[in-house]
Amino acid sequence: MNEKPEKLIDKKGLRLDGRKADELRPIKIEVGVLSNADGSAYIEQGKNKILAAVFGPREMHPKHLALPDRMVLRCRYHMAPFSVQERKSPAPSRREVELSKVIRESLEPSVFLEYYPRTGIDVFVEVLQADGGTRCASITAASLAIADAGIPMRDLVVACAAGKVDDTVVLDLMDTEDKAGVADVPVAYMPNLNAVTLLQMDGILTPDEFENAVNLAMEGCKKIYALQKEALKTKYMNVKEEVEE
């Protein structure tokens, strides 16, 4: 095990990886990376490497789970055994069951589920490497995968965490900051609708600090939102070029 560092922010106000308090990790997003899925996306956020894929709308299995008035959205968040320092058993942990639920609930408000009654879509998220903030990066990728599958949406969902490290409210915590920090506030957000679809917190914050953290996280979300849209456009620009050739 690594020892906890004494200070997470140095005298210059820089973090362990040299970022400023309100700075995101480098992000790389790609859309349409899997040929068998109806929609897919890949995200790298710092050392996080996450794949998301969408299948559907398709017939529900088992059939009795289908709903007469809307589509059922299912979500599975899963971590590869090699994605973390100590091997994680591939069987779904309680944490993964909870995260699957909150990720699903963060995506549901964005999809016009009522357009496809009696069907289902499955969102599969595989974390290939984890370094803090995987639930947020997963949501960002999963929402793009849904868009890539051509399913009508109200807005893209984008997620980012903020938190408190030492005495400072910072954006986009990495693993060490998450573990040794004071608090972590993951937020998922639909910027065009000004709607927060995921909000969790652990650690102790005063109400003012909490409000600052949520605002900072939403600012981060807006920056990632631009990258999300860019990634979606890039895919179709490439398709267009291929067609024109």
Which residues of the shown chain bind another protein in the complex (CB under 8 A)?
Answer: 1, 94-95, 97-98, 100-102, 104-105, 108-109, 185, 190, 193-207, 210-211, 214-215, 218
Using the minimum distance from each CB to another protein, give the nearer residue, 34 or 201: 201
Residue 199 CB, nearest distance to another protein (Å)? 4
Residue 173 CB, nearest distance to another protein (Å)? 15
Using the minimum distance from each CB to another protein, give the nearer residue, 33 or 199: 199
Residue 214 CB, nearest distance to another protein (Å)? 6
Residue 42 CB, nearest distance to another protein (Å)? 26
- 217's tokens: 């996280």
Cα→Cα distances 243→30, 32, 40, 233, Å: 20, 16, 21, 15
Length of the chain: 245
Residue 183 CB, nearest distance to another protein (Å)? 8
- How far, in Å, CA of 151 to CA of 135, rounded? 22
Using the minimum distance from each CB to another protein, give the nearer residue, 97 or 226: 97
- In eight-state DSSP terms, residue 80 is -
- How far, in Å, CA of 58 to CA of 154, rounded? 20
Instruction: Give residue 191's identity as a one-letter amino acid code.
Output: P
How far the first Cα of the chain sits from its last, in Å, is: 54
Q: Is the peptide bond before 57 cis (omega within 30 degrees of 0)?
A: yes
Using the minimum distance from each CB to another protein, give the nearer residue, 31 or 165: 165
- 238's tokens: 């490439």
Q: 3-state DSSP call for residue 1?
A: coil
Using the minimum distance from each CB to another protein, give the nearer residue, 49 or 164: 164
Residue 20 CB, nearest distance to another protein (Å)? 23
Using the minimum distance from each CB to another protein, give the nearer residue, 25 or 78: 78
